[in-house]
Amino acid sequence: MMMVMMMMMVMMMLMVVVVVVVMLLLMMMMMMMMMMMMMMMMMMMMMMMVVMMMMIDDGGGGDDDDDDDDDDDDDDDDDDDDDDDDDDDDNDDDDDD
């Protein structure tokens, strides 16, 4: 009878040790996974921030400059056209007279 009791006690102790070790391993794995996920998220966020900043800087500066240049050119062209029209009108008036 004592032998059986001793075997049962040893088995229980071994089971407890195994369960504790497995729990610790699982916890360590979970912690590692969480740390890896956090690192990946941080790196992704940093890359996204850099890309967004680059896009905003390039887009804003380039577009504004281009628009201003285009507008100025268009205005100049319009002025030239108006001058041409005025000259034509004057010529027509001279012909009529």
What integer pLDDT is reported at residue 54 of this predicted model? 86
Averaged pLDDT score across all residues of the chain: 77
Nearest-CA neighbor of 43 among 51, 32, 31, 55?
A: 51
Q: Which tens digit of pLDDT belongs to each residue from 32-58? A: 999 999 999 999 999 999 998 888 865
What pLDDT band is residue 19 in, cutting at 50, 70 and 90? very high
Q: Where is pLDDT greater, at 1 or 90?
A: 1
| CA–CA separation, 81 and 27 (whole Å) | 79
What integer pLDDT is reported at residue 55 of this predicted model? 85
Which structure tokens are listed for 45?
């966020």
| CA–CA separation, 77 and 84 (whole Å) | 11
Does this model's pTM top 0.75? My answer is no
